Structure 1
Amino acid sequence: MLVRGASVYSDADGYYVLTSSSTSPVRLQVYSGYYVSGWWNGSEITQDCSQASDSIPSTGQTIINMSIEKADSISGSVKDATGVPHLWKSLHTIMTPADG
């Protein structure tokens, strides 16, 4: 079972708490701006959701410590056909490997 819409933010020390009233298995997806996003597979972050492991919330507390890596970046500018800079509130891009 994938729990959608449950979001948490870490504090200044990186700690987070995700509460659930269910003990059904869940899969954790991590997204953090300038860091590589992915799915928790029980020991590390993986890009493949099918490799994600089920985590089962327990009575009390289940502790999952994750390490995430800085993402690579590409920067530049966006201009219209006449060369005027285009101001967007956000620009979404997808980077895929050149070989596939």
Structure 2
Amino acid sequence: MTLVPHKVRRNGKEYYELIEEKRVNGKVVQKYIGYLGKDPKAKNELKASDILPYVERLLKHGISQEEIDEILKKIGIEYDAWPITKIIIENDLKLDKIYLKLK
């Protein structure tokens, strides 16, 4: 079983989705796992222990871009979105992983 990001074109736009590939009866079978968005690097996998100390600060109204940048550097996340308008913490129960998505 292998998880692979896959590029899809719809209506002239590119999107990424996560596909699980495995062999069944000697043939490769693909199964759709989830949507990754327009940029596969926008979603960062992390451990709950890495983000928990910072969740309250990240969700605070009025947090500055500099504070967000400082927190993400402490966690070890590099990003190119500026200014950040959305911070999404996603717990994927199917994959048993936690993602931080920035927009």
Greater fraction of residues in helix? 2
Q: TM-score, normalised by structure 2?
A: 0.21
| TM-score, normalised with respect to structure 1 | 0.21
* Structure number with higher relative contact order (C-alpha < 8 Å, ≥ 6 residues apart): 2
Q: More strand per residue: 1 or 2?
A: 2
